[in-house]
Amino acid sequence: MRRVVITGAGTLNPLGADVAATWQAMQAGRCAIGALTCRDVDRLTVKIGAEVAGFDPSAHFTRAQLPLLDRFTQFALISAREAVAQSGLVLSDEDSLRAGVVLGTAGGGNLTVDDNYRTVYEDGKNRVHPFVVPRLMHNAAASHVSMEFGLKGPGFTTSTACASANHAMGQALMMIRAGMADVMLTGGSEAMLGFGGIKAWEGLRVMSRDTCRPFSRDRSGMVQGEGGAIFVFEERARALARGATILSEVAGFGLSSDASDIVMPDRDGPVRAMRMALADAGLAPDAIGYVNAHGTGTAANDRTEAQALAEVMGDHLSKCPVSSTKSMHGHLIGGTSAVELLACLMALQEGVIAPTVNFNEADPDCPLDVVPNEARAATPEAVMSNAFAFGGLNAVMVLRRAA
């Protein structure tokens, strides 16, 4: 089986405008959750979120490009540029035929939809901009990334709610292993922090009104964020041949469906996904030195995940740090597991475990070492990243230190 490595990473998220700034924020335990600035925020019950503050699209795109790009696509393109630059990736015409892109998103052009519903319903206009459909399509980010970098191999989007990015990265891994491509740009992005998006999530009654405190006994719910992260996945022999710096090996992927409930998680599905990812990586549970948890900050999710981890990890769980970086950058929905993979890379590259911030009190139903409030030095050889979505769609990634 062909081995797959990461040779580039890029991001734009509430914690930072690039990978270095994001790692610095994670190591400092900075929380990016604050007051929302979207239109009609006074009509919202939930008035907090993790925004990409101070973002100026015109600094990154021309006036001709911007009408085609929803915010989620902008995040993906900026992240991809950083990832490609770090990887030093240069594709010949022949190479481009074996280079592709698969990205995850749950809402796609949600802000474009929201803005244009206002145009026709609130403002009473009879026409909208001709580029509305190309902006709002879920595949828009993947298509624009393919065009910017000349990627003519496999290209598509996965949309599996909160597991979208992990599913996308798992697909990229399998395509390179199977010989369908040699290079894949992969990850995810999301931009749903508008009035319509927040108002819809309010209806689920799972949103916090103060902050995100995963695994803490006094947690009050999840907090939405926005942004994205993109990685260059590359066949290992190819990367070595061109002298690329290898950030880590993509060692394993597991996926499962609960087939149970549209919103309530079930322990069995996450257990099977984690065990599949470990088996795919050829690793025993005690080889994992860090888990980036799904950790949304809702009672049902936190307790179900803690139970699933206990079943999979056994006695090793007491020795394995398990943190939720959603406490810092919020829940980026379809893009969140891509940003969370940055925390996994940080553990392998920097020797630092990201903390679970805002943590006040241990929950006896979640007996985990959550790395409370302060980052921790460690040198894990392998790490695991969990994503468990509405509809019971689970996806787990395992990374291993580059050999």
DSSP letter string, 39-106: TTGGG-S--EEB--TT--GGGTS-TTTGGG--HHHHHHHHHHHHHHHHHT----HHHHTTEEEEEE-S
| DSSP code at position 191 | -
Q: Which of 162, 212, 344, 366 is flagged as catalytic?
A: 162
Query: Residue 294 catalytic?
Result: yes
**Burial annotation 238-253 (CB, 10 A radius, 16+ → b, else e):** bbeeeebebbbbbbbb
Query: Residue 331 catalytic?
Result: yes
Q: Where are the alpha helices (DSSP H) in 314-357?
A: 326-329, 336-350
- φ, ψ of residue 14 to 5 degrees: the values are -60, -20
Q: Which of 294, 329, 344, 366 is flagged as catalytic?
A: 294
Q: Cα separation of 378 and 371, whole Å?
A: 11
Query: Residue 38 catalytic?
Result: no
Nearest to 195 by CA among 107, 111, 74: 111
Residue 163 three-state SS: helix
Report the DSSP pairing between strands 382-389 and 393-400: antiparallel
Q: Which of 138, 167, 329, 331 is flagged as catalytic?
A: 331
For 147, the token pair is 């065009």
CB 359 within 8 A of CB 211: no
Q: Cα separation of 366 and 369, whole Å?
A: 9
Nearest to 255 by CA among 157, 139, 160, 154: 160
Catalytic residues: 162, 294, 331
